[in-house]
Structure 1
Amino acid sequence: MDCEKIIYEVNNYITRQFANDPTGHDYNHMKRVAEWSRLIALDEGADPFTAELSGWVHDIGDAKLFQDTDAAYQELDDFLKSLNVNVDQREVVFAIIRDISFSKGRIPDSIEGKIVQDADRLDALGAIGIARTFAYGGMHNQLIYHEEEQKLTSIQHFYDKLLKLSQGMHTRKARQEAEQRHIFMKKYLEQFFKEWNSIERAGE
């Protein structure tokens, strides 16, 4: 396989699929996950091509983004076939993209799968993670925050998911990066609530 050509063509494929996504699952999210996957794979002594390829396509078939997940998987499989990606490699990629979701609660079997899961979760943390959270919440009519309806807000998502991610990283490089981003998010929440309550305190 011509790995460099495959990555180039997959980059173009993902551009067509996600260029106009407004939910935080856009082309640049895929690019960041792919690039982090490659970096972590090199650090771990894993296969950088498999990790990067899977990073690029990891959101194909996600039920949040595709109405027909089976059709999305089949289209991706046909596309990878057209690039002469062999059946064994395609099976590895599909195993990874089906196992990395936080909501499924799975841990991928392969080291490359664990790497892509780490890379995807890194992009849900830090400043970019905060921006993506509010982009997704806005597109799904979520309130930013509400004292009486907290479960329906974007701020609650920090407590339901984002602040839990750093403890579940599998790899050294991801753990280091996640720790910094986790601290930043905690500081952000402190500032958020300080500002949210500032008018009440100012009137005292």
Structure 2
Amino acid sequence: METIDKLKQYVEQQLGDDTTGHDYTHIQRVVALAKTISEQTENDDLLIVLTAAYLHDVIDDKLVDDTYDKQKEVQSKLVQLDYTSAQIDEVMDIITHMSYSANLKHHYELTINGQIVQDADRLDAIGAIGVARAMYFGGHFGDTIYDPEQMPRNDMDKSQYREHTTVINHFYEKLFKLPDLMNTPAAKEMADRRSQYMHDFVREFKDEWQGIH
């Protein structure tokens, strides 16, 4: 699709230099996962799914200083690419409400298109790649890998969640919770295997930390 090709170029320009684990390769994996989930899901609109999958991190407040201006820029880009007002509204609704932090205190009901993209993004946060991205993200911000005296936090709002924690605590505070939050049957099935890998990793990590083996 020519429209998607042009959108890809824009997103790669925006995220190509990212060093937090939200770079263009992350976007490519989310898009691939979204396609896989879409193939097994009814009543979705693939153009909306792909568009939101490509754009979901461009306006992320972890990555940009002024999310309002960035949202306006994204909307203008979609107008240039001849998306309809309804399509733009749905894409913006998805990418502004799909993040984990945006749903900490209130679960936002996304369209089926948004649920697919949310699942794809969350799948890329878990499993072997999830472990690597957690370490990469923590290293970027100078977070401690592990502190046995620092317990994982619960019942956080967004501002509390944004306060840095240890990398291992991040598994308990977010990553271990994601499999139960998947929307679609296809994503739930993929999440089970990835979740097991993460649990095995953290168990092995703590055993090695204590010198058990």
Corresponding residue pairs, total: 197
Partner of 1:27: 24
Match of 2:169, SS?
helix
Q: CA deviation at 1:42?
A: 2.2
Q: CA RMSD in A?
A: 1.3
- Whether the 8 Å contact between 1:42 and 1:48 is mirrored in structure 2 is no
In structure 1, stretches of 5+ residues that fail to align are: none
CA distance in 1 between partners of 2:139 and 2:172 (Å): 18
Partner of 1:91: 89
Q: Which has the higher helix share?
A: 1
Match of 1:180, SS?
helix
Larger radius of gyration: 1
Which of 178, 182, 203 lines up with 2:191 in the alignment?
178
CA distance in 2 between partners of 1:56 and 1:102 (Å): 17
- Whether the 8 Å contact between 2:34 and 2:116 is mirrored in structure 1 is yes
Partner of 1:157: 170
What TM-score do you get using the length of structure 2 for normalisation?
0.89
Partner of 1:190: 203
CA distance in 2 between partners of 1:124 and 1:37 (Å): 14
- Whether the 8 Å contact between 2:98 and 2:110 is mirrored in structure 1 is no
1:75 and 2:76 matched: no
Partner of 1:58: 56
Which of 46, 49, 68 lines up with 1:48 in the alignment?
46
CA distance in 1 between partners of 2:84 and 2:129 (Å): 35
In structure 2, stretches of 5+ residues that fail to align are: 153-164
Of structures 1 and 2, the one with the larger relative CO (CA 8 A, separation 6+) is 2
Question: Which structure 2 residues correspond to residues 84-163 of structure 1 after superposition, within 5 A?
Answer: 84-105=82-103, 106-151=107-152, 152-163=165-176
Q: CA deviation at 1:150?
A: 4.6
What TM-score do you get using the length of structure 1 for normalisation?
0.92
